[in-house]
Structure 1
Amino acid sequence: MKRVCVTGAGGYIGSWAVKLLLSKGYVVHGTVRDPCDETKNGHLKKLEHAEERLHLFKADMLDYESLCAAFAGCSGVIHVASPVPLHVASTVPGLRIPNPQVEQLDPAILGTQNVLKACSKAKVEKVVVVSSGAAVMVNPKWTSDMELDESCWTDIVHANSTQNWYALSKTKAEMEALNFAKRHDMKVVTICPSIVIGPMLQSTINATSLLLLSYMKEEGRARGDSMENIKRPYVDIRDVSEAIILLYENLESNGRYICSAYTLTTKEFVAKMECLYPGYNYPKIFRGQTSSASLNSGKLLKLGWNYRPLEETIVDTIKNYEEAGFLEKGKPFPSTVTF
């Protein structure tokens, strides 16, 4: 029975990757900050087959030895762990990170280096590194009529000068992963999801779920009834996890893969939500329209990936938010996060 380790197992993407691996019969190692923290990781222990096939390891991406222990005996590693600021989907990325080097850049870049070194030591056969569409799209050369593929990269100088620390960290970490693979003849594949939405398994809110909640709740919006009409790419969390496992299992997967399903303006997305779930406090005024280049997932589709209808994502997500109590007034927005 093959063993696969998922870093950042308790997070939004990591949790779904663990769930899918367990359902497919894998023994799963999961790295978390504290295996005893039931608030952050208790949901993992409740997953089907977790009792017999899930092993949680206390690890930090900046602690090489802890990663070596977690990867021992694993044939594959899915590297998800990387800081995601709560405001990452907002229009002012990087603005609220007091110490970006310590809080964002080092954990992402040095953490990826440590993961790959530990994979090499453990003789891991294949690594899937979860990057981001932010490593593709942040480039002043890209115009709104362009369709971006895997040859397109975020401009590091531009990301640094605009203090887009998230995009900078994901770009440099992904470049390091692919270069490490070439230098050490290691099988490394990277995946770049767009804005990931859909139902959560974890109990603590994540950045992109806050974005969707801001479409439905006034306290998540900086200007009450109005929002900027930004054109954004989206993909369902379940489709992302399926893409990750596909890339791990498919012998022909190589290089990087964009993973995105739909591109809509805020107005278009809100209209779909309101049609399916009327009665919530949706914005009524949409200011301007900010366009950006679109993402092309053709390479991933050719490998056999599929994505579900957007309406299914919206229905399942809002049901999840209702059950979690996130749509009640006053929850769950931190006072510093608005869109």
Structure 2
Amino acid sequence: MDKLREMEMFGEDGRDGGVSTVMANVMDPDGLRRAFDGCAGVFHTSAFVDPGGMSGYTKHMAALEAQAAERVIEACVRTESVRKCVFTSSLLACVWRQDYPHDRRCPTTIDESCWSDESFCRDNKLWFALGKTAAEKAAWRAARGRDLKLVTICPALVTGPGFRRRNSTASIAYLKGARAMLADGLLATANVETVAEAHVHAYEAMGDNTAGGRYICYDHVVKRPEEFAELERQLGLPGGAAPAPAHGSDDRPARFELCKRKLSRLMSSRRRCAYDTYYSVAFEV
């Protein structure tokens, strides 16, 4: 709300460029339909924000997020002009599972086929992971068999200049359980520009049916405690959450390995298409 008011105050709301600002309650399907009317696609990137910066992400927020996801997809389906939706989920919807294989020497790959165990998240009070998992599943259920193309992007901890400060609720909530993620090779970050680019590429590829399903998105896997300590510092969190490395632990392979091959293929193919189109037009001119 504050950002919208600021944009209006300084004339940055895009009215002169054919872009308008519309506000709606994500829990109000009729309001969402009115907001979506005339749009060909929807990017559902909303997240809860704690204005006081104190309460954090709660169990109640997790339940609300799942309800909101279902209502957004339902509104998309019921809006005649909308045919595509890109839904922002989280890498946390993929990594938390009960059946960790403790005795395997080779890393287990975590890719788009993996889902976090909701019972595990609930038992360990991983509310942010629970909310993202439940919300994404709700979105897929609501879109199943309907006239709507849906793609979900599952980014790691989103970083970027000032991003974590402006979105501290989600950033701090993401790091609940960071000790285990760091030890298992599952703590990763994604620059906000990379995440935005992934959304755009997915949306464009949906037009020719070359994008579908889920896409894991990250830039960097945090492997050292000092890297995690820097994340803590940037978020203003108390230090000491990162585990001290055991003697000889640097020689041990991580038990898990993140895989973003699907997104890499999509983004490289879209870049090639843009390159070919640009040079074809330039040559003709």
* TM-score, normalization by structure 2: 0.70
Deviation at 1:166, TM superposition (A): 1.6
Aligned counterparts of 1:43 and 1:305: Cα–Cα separation in 2: 36
- Match in the other structure for 1:134: 92
SS in 2 for 1:265: coil
C-alpha RMSD over aligned residues: 3.7
Q: What residue is the counterpart of 2:259 in the other structure?
A: 296
Instruction: Classify 1:56/1:201 alpha carbon distance in 2 versus 1 (closer, same or farther; 3 Å).
Output: farther
- Which of 190, 205, 223 is the matching residue for 1:265? 223
**Partner in structure 1 of residue 68 of structure 2:** 111
Give the percent of matched residue pairs that are identical in Structure 1 and Structure 2: 27
Shift of 1:104: 2.7
Q: 1:288 to 1:117 in 2, by over 3 A?
A: same
Displacement after TM superposition at 1:266 (Å): 4.8
The reply on whether 1:239 has 2:169 as its aligned counterpart is: no
Letter in 2 for 1:171: T
The question of whether the paired residues in 1 share the 8 Å contact of 2:96 and 2:121 is answered with: yes
Q: 1:150 aligns with which of 104, 112, 131?
A: 112
- Paired amino acid for 2:76: C
Pairing 1:162-177 to 2, within 5 Å after superposition: 162-177=124-139
Is contact 1:126-1:248 (8 Å) kept? Answer: yes
**SS, match of residue 43 in structure 2:** strand
Partner SS for 1:110: helix
Report the equivalent of 1:287. 243
**More strand as a share of residues:** 1
User: Contact 1:197–1:208 at 8 Å: present in 2 too?
Assistant: no
| Greater CA drift, 60-69 or 134-143 | 134-143
* Partner Cα distance (1:84, 1:148) in 2: 28
TM-score (norm 1): 0.60
State the Cα deviation string for residues 299-338 of structure 1 (Å, max 9, x = none): 00001259xxxxxxxxxxxxxxxxxxxxxxxxxxxxxxxx
Partner of 1:50: 14
Change (3 A) 1:253 1:74: same
CA distance in 2, matches of 1:51, 1:57: 11
- Alpha-carbon distance in 1 for matches of 2:168, 2:229: 23
| Alpha-carbon spacing, 1:157–1:265, altered in 2? closer, same or farther (3 Å) | same
Point out where structure 1 has 5 or more consecutive residues left out of the alignment: 1-36, 87-94, 215-227, 274-281, 307-339
The alpha-carbon distance between structure 1 residues 125 and 211, as it changes in their structure 2 partners (threshold 3 A), is closer
Once residues 289 and 181 of structure 1 are traced to their aligned partners in structure 2, the CA distance between those partners, rounded to angstroms, is: 44
SS in structure 2 opposite 1:199? Answer: coil
Distance 1:148 1:47, change over 3 A: farther
Letter of the structure 2 residue corresponding to residue 114 of structure 1: R
CA deviation map 1:97-142 (0-9, x unaligned)? 56x23x3312x11111111111111121100110111110111224
| Match among 203, 211, 225 for residue 248 of structure 1 | 203
Amino acid of the structure 2 residue aligned with 1:115: V
Gaps of 5+ in 2: 176-180, 232-237, 247-253, 270-285
User: 1:186-201 alignment to 2 at 5 Å?
Assistant: 186-200=148-162
- Change in Cα spacing, 1:49 to 1:97, as seen in structure 2 (3 Å) is closer
* TM-superposed deviation, 1:84: 6.1
Tell me the CA shift for residue 79 of structure 1: 0.5
Q: What is the CA-CA distance between 1:244 and the residue it aligns to?
A: 0.5
Greater Cα radius of gyration, structure 1 or 2: 2
| 1:77 counterpart SS class | strand
- Pick one of 143, 162, 182 that aligns with 1:181: 143
CA distance, structure 2, for counterparts of residue 203 and residue 284 of structure 1? 20
Deviation of 1:185 (Å): 3.7
* Matched residue, 2:79: 122
